[in-house]
């Protein structure tokens, strides 16, 4: 292929320097996916019916007393074996009651996420116990400061739409203080929607107090709850996580949206067949739907079928596998079928470092999740070593990956204004026989194309002239620059900040 000459390069660079207006930028939060369908309609129905069978025949064990009360009142049946069983009609009544077209609020309205249909949002999540030091190639214990930094960086990255807690603040040994400081670090770093979890049910009260302060009052909090509770309410296979369920009840009371998270691991705590791991996760989350709606009908919740994958050679987790990507995409289709806002894991790397392996692992599973139209793609950036390590550099580069994935979700525009042969005719018959300077090309430069931030597209010659820039070095510099800048941007009002620090021991 002959490469066309470069013409009018200066004028194009000038155009590029102008910031892309939000209006014409082809990628926006909440693009509509769904052009990829790994499961057929009949597959989906089959899996749904199997999940219903599992709920009515096998049921879910270990519900707390309070939960048994709520759910048996609603119609669940407690067996002699201590398992709650749910009839098809009960489940379907509760699906009908359940929250749909949910909005997850940001602390700033511009970050609100309207979850409906096949709209796709990308964000973080996880409970990594390490942060990756890419310079030393080391894994060290993660701290609350690391978590704060991750939140600060996320605030600046347009292609990341929410921030669920990514790392455990291991420097805080008291679990209550850890929960509080986790919340503080997340909310202090970003005004995007936050997700977090609580170690114990009785921690919820104090954490709610903190959130009321941040919101400016309980009423304000309840009007726009900007934090959701990532709740592992089941221990797969098919058992309620008793304490987490109690936490969930308290969060419902406090007006906090619930992410009903079923985190089985195919081949270990979930069945090995991908389809059957989906069935179990759907069954478990449907039990969660019954639970939440028997406590409070319509309380906002997210259908978090979140099955992971085992590397069956070792039993270890493999979040970066093709099987993981399929599991997640298949789950998205189940959410659409049920008409419930849903989330799952995508973008996990098994690689320990942000290297080529991490690139394809994060790229492929985010692509499948996005094209399948998963509402909330959790763990989509920064996650390494199958969730054990979080990398700030990878978080930053992940923004480029997600930009590209979102470009793919946006798809191919075939509207008549731009898709007609007039431009081909004029270029070929009358014109310069190329499209470089054509008005349509200039018009579409920012509408049809997106440009990565850190990814390098120079020619080998330019690359050499630029002293062969190393993407990781560039990213480390970007990280430092963002953190320096953001440390001067307070996210809480001074008064609120003082109040919080008086009332709570803040480690950040």
Instruction: Rule CB under 8 A: choose which of 24, 223, 424, 489 binds a copy of itself.
Output: 424
Task: Write the CA distances from 222 to 45, 187, 225, 230, integer angstroms.
Answer: 37, 16, 5, 18
Nearest approach in angstroms of CB 494 to a copy of itself is 39
Q: The tokens 């489940």 sit on which residue? A: 91
Interacting residues of 244 by C-beta distance below 8 A, sequence separation 6+: 231, 232, 233
- Considering the complex, state which of residue 223 and residue 312 has its C-beta at the smaller distance from a copy of itself: 312
> Are the C-beta atoms of residues 150 and 382 closer than 8 Å to each other?
yes
Which is closer to a copy of itself, CB of 146 or CB of 323? 323
* CB contact burial 428-439 (16+ within 10 A = b; e otherwise): eeeeeeebeeee
Instruction: Give me the least distance between CB of 484 and a copy of itself, in Å please.
Output: 24
Residues numbered 17-36 forming contacts with a copy of itself, rule: CB under 8 A: 35-36
Site for a copy of itself in 456-485 (CB under 8 A): 456-460, 463-464, 468, 470-472
Among 216, 418, 477, 480, binds a copy of itself (CB under 8 A): 418
DSSP 3-state of 233:
coil
The nearer residue to a copy of itself, 8 or 297, going by C-beta atoms, is 8
Helices 356-372, 392-410: axis angle to 10 degrees equals 40
Among residue numbers 265 through 284, which ones bind a copy of itself (CB under 8 A)? 265-276, 278-280
Ramachandran region of residue 30, left (φ > 0), alpha (ψ -120 to 50) or beta? left
Reduced to 3 states, what is the DSSP secondary structure of residue 345?
strand
Q: If binding is defined by CB under 8 A, does position 85 make contact with a copy of itself?
A: no
The full 3-state SS of 169-223, as one line of letters, equals: CCCCCCHHHHHHHHHHHHHHHCCCEEEECCCCHHHHHHHHHHHHHHHCCHHHHHH
In the complex, minimum distance from the CB of residue 409 to a copy of itself, in angstroms, rounded to a whole number: 9
What Rg do the C-alpha atoms of the chain give, in angstroms? 24
* b/e sequence 340-370, b meaning 16+ C-beta within 10 Å: bbbbbbbbbbbbbbbeeebbebbbbbbbbbb
Q: Which of residues 287-316 bind a copy of itself (CB under 8 A)?
A: 308-309, 311-316
Helix (H) or strand (E) holding 11: helix 9-17
| Min dist. Cβ of residue 321 to a copy of itself (A) | 7
Least distance to a copy of itself, CB of residue 138, Å: 9
String marking each residue 316-345 x if it binds a copy of itself according to CB under 8 A:
xxx-xxxx-xx---x---------------
Query: Which of 348, 401, 491, 500 touches a copy of itself (CB under 8 A)?
Result: 401
- Residue 401 · residue 362 · CB < 8 Å: yes
Residue 382: φ, ψ to 5°: 85, -10
Contact by Cβ (8 Å): 391, 369:
no
Pick from 21, 73, 219, 421: which binds a copy of itself (CB under 8 A)? 421
Instruction: Tell me, by CB under 8 A, how many residues bind a copy of itself.
Output: 141
Q: Which is nearer to a copy of itself, 78 or 508 (CB)?
A: 78
Least separation in angstroms between residue 204's CB and a copy of itself is: 21
x-marked contacts with a copy of itself along 95-134 as a string, rule CB under 8 A: --------------------------------x--x----
Q: Which is nearer to a copy of itself, 299 or 336 (CB)?
A: 336
- Binding-site member from 82, 298, 411, 490 for a copy of itself (CB under 8 A): 411
Tell me the per-residue interface mask from 33 to 72 with a copy of itself, x by CB under 8 A, - otherwise.
Answer: --xxxxx---x--xx--x--xx--xx--x-----------
In this chain, which of 24, 96, 223, 419 binds a copy of itself, going by CB under 8 A?
419
Nearer to a copy of itself, 83 or 192 (CB): 83
- Please tell me the distance from the alpha carbon of residue 29 to that of residue 219, in angstroms, as a whole number: 28
Nearest to a copy of itself of 99, 386 (CB atom) = 386
Query: Interface residues for a copy of itself in 185-244 (CB under 8 A)?
Result: 232, 235, 237-239
> Is 325 or 491 the residue whose CB approaches a copy of itself more closely?
325
Q: Which is nearer to a copy of itself, 42 or 488 (CB)?
A: 42
In whole angstroms, how close is the CB of 486 to a copy of itself at the nearest point?
A: 24
Alpha-carbon gap, residue 122 to 162, rounded angstroms: 7
User: Smallest distance, Å, CB 481 to a copy of itself?
Assistant: 19
CA–CA distance from 398 to each of 23, 172, 257, 404, 420 (Å)?
A: 23, 28, 26, 10, 36
């Amino acid at each position: 292929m002959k490469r066309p000459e470069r013409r009018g390069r200066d004028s194009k660079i000038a155009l590029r320097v102008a910031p892309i207006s939000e209006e014409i930028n082809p990628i926006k939060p909440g693009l509509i996916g769904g052009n990829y369908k790994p499961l057929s309609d009949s597959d989906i129905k089959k899996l749904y019916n199997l999940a219903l069978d599992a709920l009515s025949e096998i049921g879910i064990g270990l519900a707390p007393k309070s939960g048994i009360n709520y759910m048996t009142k609603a119609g669940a049946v407690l067996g002699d074996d201590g398992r709650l069983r749910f009839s098809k009609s009960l489940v379907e009544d509760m699906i009908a009651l359940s929250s749909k077209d949910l909005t997850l609020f940001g602390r700033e309205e511009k970050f609100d996420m309207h979850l409906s249909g096949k709209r796709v949002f990308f964000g973080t999540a996880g409970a990594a116990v390490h942060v990756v030091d890419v310079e030393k190639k080391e894994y060290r214990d993660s701290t609350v400061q690391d978590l704060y930094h991750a939140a600060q960086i996320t605030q600046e990255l347009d292609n990341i739409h929410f921030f669920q807690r990514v790392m455990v603040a291991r420097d805080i040994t008291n679990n209550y203080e850890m929960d509080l400081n986790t919340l503080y670090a997340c909310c202090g770093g970003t005004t995007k929607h936050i997700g977090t979890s609580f170690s114990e049910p009785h921690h919820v009260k104090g954490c709610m107090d903190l959130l009321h302060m941040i919101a400016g009052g309980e009423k304000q909090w309840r009007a726009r709850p900007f934090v959701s509770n990532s709740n592992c309410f089941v221990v797969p296979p098919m058992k309620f996580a008793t304490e987490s369920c109690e936490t969930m009840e308290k969060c419902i009371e406090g007006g906090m949206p619930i992410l009903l998270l079923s985190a089985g691991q195919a081949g270990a705590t979930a069945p090995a067949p991908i389809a059957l791991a989906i069935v179990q996760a759907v069954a478990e989350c449907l039990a969660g739907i019954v639970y939440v709606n028997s406590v409070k009908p319509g309380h906002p919740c997210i259908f978090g079928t979140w099955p992971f994958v085992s590397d069956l050679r070792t039993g270890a987790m493999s979040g970066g596998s093709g099987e993981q990507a399929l599991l997640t995409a298949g789950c998205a289709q189940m959410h659409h079928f049920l008409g419930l806002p849903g989330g799952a894991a995508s973008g996990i790397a098994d690689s320990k470092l942000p290297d080529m392996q991490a690139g394809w692992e994060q790229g492929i599973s985010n692509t499948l999740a996005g094209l399948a139209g998963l509402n909330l793609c959790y763990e989509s950036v920064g996650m390494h070593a199958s969730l054990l390590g979080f990398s700030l550099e990878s978080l930053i580069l992940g923004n480029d990956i997600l930009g590209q994935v979102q470009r793919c979700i946006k798809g191919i525009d075939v509207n008549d204004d731009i898709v007609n042969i007039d431009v081909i005719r004029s270029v070929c018959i009358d014109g310069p026989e190329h499209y470089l300077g054509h008005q349509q090309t200039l018009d579409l430069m920012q509408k049809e194309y997106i440009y990565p931030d850190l990814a390098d597209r120079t020619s080998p010659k330019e690359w050499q002239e630029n002293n062969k820039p190393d993407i990781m070095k560039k990213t480390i510099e970007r990280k430092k620059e963002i953190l320096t800048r953001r440390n001067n941007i307070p996210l809480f009002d001074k008064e609120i900040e003082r109040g919080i620090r008086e009332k709570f021991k803040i480690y950040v």
